[in-house]
Amino acid sequence: MNRAEVYDYETRAKRDDHQALRLWLRFFACANLVENHIRKNLRAQFATTLPRFDLMAQLERHPAGLTMGEISRRMMVTGGNITGIADELEAAGLVVRAPARDDRRARKVKLTAAGRRAFADMARAHERWIVECFAGLNRKDKSSMYDVLARLKQHAAANGAHVR
């Protein structure tokens, strides 16, 4: 295999496949490459996972905390997945669970002070990694892609797709 050759979702496409399919596979391949870069760096530099980072990001946006159900809906994963991640973060002292004021049956998950500090460090690094991934594009390319993807997002949402 040629070292420059990459096998990913896009390599499934054939020349005679519909252009939209080839575009989707290229988009998916690019998204996976960026996501894998983020996953690798989170693991190496912070000994954490992308799901933990994502849960902490949700909590950072909601300092009063979120219920497990709210987190599950926002992250589009099952409650069982959220419970496992929250258990790990709680054991590490990064989140706490407290009774919800408006519903005695529910518990809110909140970042601790240590969790806020840890997330701030991860978020700064995360932004750097994203910038690195897009460094091969000039400002005009990034702006153009942003606008085109906005139209795609709008069209997909209008046709029944759900956006996180």
**One-letter-per-residue 3-state SS of 10-61:** HHHCCCCCCHHHHHHHHHHHHHHHHHHHHHHHHHHHHCCCHHHHHHHHHHHH
What was the pLDDT predicted at 163? Answer: 54
Question: Which CATH architecture best describes the domain 10-133?
Answer: Orthogonal Bundle (1.10)
Query: Average pLDDT of 22-30?
Result: 88
Look at 66 and 22; give whichever has higher pLDDT.
66
Residue with tokens 């497990």: 68
Domain regions of the chain by residue span: 10-133
Residue 13 pLDDT greater than 70, yes or no? no
pTM, two decimals, is 0.83
| CA 51/CA 49 separation, integer angstroms | 5
Confidence of residue 9 (pLDDT cuts 50, 70, 90): low
- Say if residue 137's pLDDT is above 50: yes
Q: Show Cβ contacts of residue 142 under 8 Å, excluding neighbours closer than 6 positions.
A: 134
* Residue 4 pLDDT > 60: no
Is the model's pLDDT at 44 over the cut of 90? yes
The predicted structure's pLDDT at residue 103: 77
C-alpha to C-alpha distances, 119 to 10, 11, 33, 126, 150, nearest whole angstrom? 33, 36, 23, 10, 28
- pLDDT beyond 50 at 1: no
pLDDT at 102: 78
Mean pLDDT of 88-115: 92
- Percent above pLDDT 90 for the chain: 66
